[in-house]
Every structure is written in C-alpha cells, then in structure tokens.
Amino acid sequence: MLQLLFLLLLSPLVAGGLLLMFSGVSQQRTARWIALAGSLLALVFSLEIAREYRQLQAEQQAAAAASIDTVRPSPIQPRVEFRQPWLSLSGSAAAPGAATSPNAAAATAKSPVLEFHFGLDGVSVAMIVLTTLLTVSCVLISWESIRERESEFYAALLILQSGLVGVFCSFDIVMFYVFFEFTLIPLFFIIAIWGGPQRRYAAVKFFLYTLAGSLVTLIGLVILVTQAAAAGLASPASLPDLAAWLRDYPEAMSYKLQVITFVALSAGFLIKVPVFPFHTWLPLAHVEAPTAGSVLLAGVLLKLGTYGFLRLCLPILPEACLQVGLPAGAILGVVGIVWGSLCALVQRDLKKLVAYTSVAHLGFCILGLFALNRSGITGGVLQMINHGLATGGLFLLVGMVYERYHTRMLDDLGGLANRLPAIAAAMVFISMASIGLPGLNGFVGEMLSLAGMFRRHPYVGVAGTTGIILSAWYLLGMLQHFFFGPLREPAHGDHSFGDMSLRELAAILPLAAACLWIGVTPQPLIEMIRPDVDAVTQLYAYREEPAEQTPGEVMATPLVAEARR
C-alpha cells in the first residue's frame, strides 16, 4: 500500500514534469490527454489504496478484538506508515535505516530526529480519494475552456494534486507544513494566469493572506517541536508521538503555553478554512479563478484548514481546544453559518453565491469538530468530504454555464432549465446535496455536527440549526432565479451550444454518484474514519457531560429502577 501511496504522490508530479518539459515542443492539445491519463491513473491508485486500506482495517480490527492488548494507541495512529529519519536535531548523525514503529524509532535514535513520516489513516484515505476524484473532474471541465498555455495549466493542476495528497499522508509536522505551503504555489499560478479580469489582485491577496496566517502557524509548530525536543522526545515532529506524549504528560507544557500554541496554530487554519471573519479572500479568489481552480480550492484546499484542526489541534492540545477552541469554534461557527448564508442570499453573481455557501457550510464543519465529541467530530469529517463533493459539483456546473454564456450575472441569465435541462437537473441534484437533504450526502455531516454541538451546548446547536433554513432559502432562490421561470439570455453572443456534453457528464456524474452513495449508506465511510475519530474523542471522553445512568442499565436491573421510582 505504501508503494501505491508513493506512486500516487509521484505520478502526477511526473506527468506534470513531462508536461512542463515539453510545453514548448509538443502539441498543446495533447497536454490535456496526458493530464487526463495522469489524473485517471492517480484515481485508480487512490481507489486501490482505499480498497486495500479497508481490507487491512478489517484484519487489524479482527486481530485487535482477539488480543487483549492494553497499550493505549496515540490519538493519531496511522494504520500504515513509513518513517525515515533525515536530520538529527542534536547535531550527531541519526541512525540510518527505516524504522517501522515508534518504539523502534525511539530505540534506535536517542537524539531527537526529524523524519519523513508518511502514513495513512481513514481520514487521509477519504480525503485522498476526494482529491483524486475532483482532479479528474477538473481536467475534464478544463478540456475546452483552457485554450492558452495548456501544458503549464495541467502541470500546475497535477502538481497541486500531489501537494494535496502529500498533506493528507504526512504524519510529521515538517512534512505537513511543507506540503501545506506548497499547495499555494500551483494554485497561485492557476488563478494568476488563467483567471478572470481581476486575477492578479485576487491571486496576490489569496497568496499573501493565507501565507501570513501560515507563518503564525509555523510559530506554533516551532513551539511544539522545540518543547518536545527539550523534553527528550525522540522524534519531536512526529504527530502520533507528539499527541501521545502530551496526552501522557500534559504537564510537560504549561496550560498558558498550550493556549498560545493553539492560537498560533489556529491562525493559519482559520484563514484557510476560512472561518468568519477571515473569509473575505475567498469570494474574490473563487470569482477570479478558472473553474478547475475553484473546484480544487473549494473542494480540497479549504479542507486543509479543517484538516489541520483535526490533525494538529484536536489530538495534541486537548485542554486548549476545550477551554478556548470550543467557545471560539462555537461562536465563529454559528456566526459563519448565518453570515455566509445571508451574504449568499443577496449575491447576483452565481459563482460568488456558491463561494459564500462555502463559508456557511464550513461553519457546520467547525461546529462539529469543536463539539469535541464523537458525533460532532464524525460529522465534521463527513462535512469536509461532503462539502468537497457538493461544492465541487456546484462549481463544475457554474463553470458549464459560464462557458456557454460568458456571464454569471443574475441580470443576464434566467430560466436556464428551458435551454439546458440536463445541467439544470444536475444543478437541482447537487443543490439538494448541498442543502443537506436526507438521502444525499450533505445531511449526514450537517446532522451529526449539529447533534454533537447540541449535546455540548444546546443553544449553540439551536443557533446552528437555523442554517438548514437559510441554506434552503439561498440555494433554492438561486435555482428559482437562474434556472426556473421564463428563459432570459444575454442578447448578444453565439447561442448555438447544446446541453451538457458527454465530457461534462463524465465530470459531474462521479460526484453525483458519490453524493447519492454517501447519502444512502453513510455507514461504510463512517466505518473507515471511525477508529481515528474515536481515538481523538477518547481524549475528551472524561470531559463530557457528567455521566448518567442509562436506561440500558435500568433495563438490566429492573429492581434498582423500581426502587428509584
């Protein structure tokens, strides 16, 4: 499986490199075929990884059930991992050779080392599949609309994919941060070169704003690593080791320092998600980005923020998450939901509207993650995946409309269902997924996030639930104004285009199928992420509401119950 993972990391890079190398020489039009082949190959790899991962998980769970192992695993535990020290922090050379387990690593290398630490757990597998799936759609949707410097465009797209996969399989801080920042570069070029009229401003703003946040995050990371190294942790940058260390020795860092670290780490993630009020770069970047850029930006890049919370904050700094993260997340999540929804309500630009829906939907995600209980975190993770599918789909469809009319404004467009019935039908479907209609994917994540927050703070949960009314209002309003009613088209321009082509169908159909599949049977996906979520949740288990005797116990001992009454 690890070989597959490396292939998955490298194959888009290789394809991208090929594209760049021949960009001057080859036929520009062949670039998209190379890109399609590369992205399809990556998709196949990722699906195979997912399959093997499920198999391995089943085997390991069976084995774990059989044995009576009392060792508590770390709150972050990749099921497969690859560790290779590459730098000794104390100056002396690290012991060469790959170590396959944390214990072995600790035994062979006494002095703190930095490692290449790649691995996979359920959440990473799910996010990787989401990334590769969306990339294929991105290549397909760019097929006709990108007409200049194609090789470079597809190279950037594939390199971006590699970077994203890299983030999701990194299990040490240095690798994580390198990939986290690396993803900015290809997207910067995608927006700045192939974007709309204001692309320079949008690209620079996007780049600098997120970079500024990330630099603060870097401070937090440095604090963590130096503290761990000073405490004698053998591999202070490894996430599993860090999490286990701080869980077992919470006094190793003072509470104040933990909070400072948490706030520093959060800075970059908050901007990346983006959480209200750090979201203003997002609508701009989306409006200016080409369709493929928007799809990957909304579908995966924003998830780096929530993924960062899930990987770095929640498992490593539980006390700070509980004391600071929970109230802040609850308030910012609710405000984000309401603010994003209401802003989406008054947009006259279709793409900007969809951009604001991201702010609202990721508010649910934040609410779920910072509910810090099982249903909440599960809901948050599902919401990451579901938002990627649904919003990715929405941007694809917006792109299809834009490609035909070269406008996205409400004043120019209306009643498109009369001209483009298939696109309208797909729009209704994906909108329903985004609204959180049960039976499609959005519902599970939203419901669990809200349920988790409701369990934590009922009133916050109630406030968040208003989002389900607002989301119906703005998205159905969008459908009503853009797609239903009498046909309204720009007067000028060529209107000889047809409805959704096979290529576009191939781009949207996998996403729609995934939406339906997750909605009808969310359990397989939940199975995959549940052990990882549970590991994190255990940190917070004793901090839950006071334990109550359950009806189950009463049923077991009716006499006690009788006495109680």
Contact residues for another protein, defined by CB under 8 A: 205, 208-209, 277, 280-281, 339, 342-343, 345-347, 373-375, 378, 415, 417-418, 428, 432, 437-439, 443-444, 447-448, 450-452, 454-455, 458, 461-462, 465-466, 468-469, 472-473, 476-477, 479-480, 483-487, 521-523, 526, 530, 534, 537, 541, 544, 548, 550-552, 554-555, 558, 561, 564-565
Q: Which is nearer to another protein, 25 or 547 (CB)?
A: 547
CB of 431 to another protein, least distance (A): 11
Q: How far apart are CA 456 and CA 509, in angstroms?
A: 38
Q: How far apart are CA 127 and CA 511, in angstroms?
A: 14
Pick from 453, 190, 469: nearest CA to 332: 453
**DSSP β-bridge partners for residue 184:** none
Shortest spacing between CB 507 and another protein, in angstroms: 20
C-alpha 112/C-alpha 241 separation (Å) is 12
Cβ-count burial of 12 within 10 angstroms (0-12 exposed, 13-18 middle, 19+ buried)?
buried
- Residues in contact with 186: Cβ distance below 8 Å, sequence separation at least 6, in sequence order: 156, 157, 159, 160, 163
Closer CB to another protein, 211 or 260, in the complex: 211
Report the residue number, 176 or 370, with the smaller CB distance to another protein.
Answer: 370
Question: Least distance in Å: CB of 427 to another protein?
Answer: 12
Helix, strand, coil shares of the chain, percent, nearest 5, are 75, 5, 20
Q: Is residue 282 packed enough to be buried (19+ CB in 10 Å), middle (13-18) or exposed (0-12)?
A: buried
Residue 488 vs residues 53, 159, 347, 349, 399: alpha-carbon distances, Å? 50, 40, 18, 15, 18
Q: Which is nearer to another protein, 45 or 207 (CB)?
A: 207
What is the nearest approach in angstroms of another protein to the Cβ of residue 423? 13
Nearer to another protein, 92 or 466 (CB): 466
Residue position matching structure tokens 């993770």? 381
Q: Tell me whether residue 485 or residue 493 sits nearer to another protein (CB atom).
A: 485
Instruction: Give the SS3 label for residue 85.
Output: strand
CB of 441 to another protein, least distance (A): 13
DSSP letter for each residue of 101-149: SHHHHHHH--S-EEEEEEEE-HHHHHHHHHHHHHHHHHHHHHHHH--SS
Q: Which is nearer to another protein, 248 or 544 (CB)?
A: 544
Q: Among residues 79 and 205, whose Cβ is nearest to another protein? A: 205
For residue 523, the minimal CB distance to another protein (Å) is 5
86 SS3 class = strand
Query: Smallest distance, Å, CB 208 to another protein?
Result: 6
Smallest distance, Å, CB 82 to another protein? 31
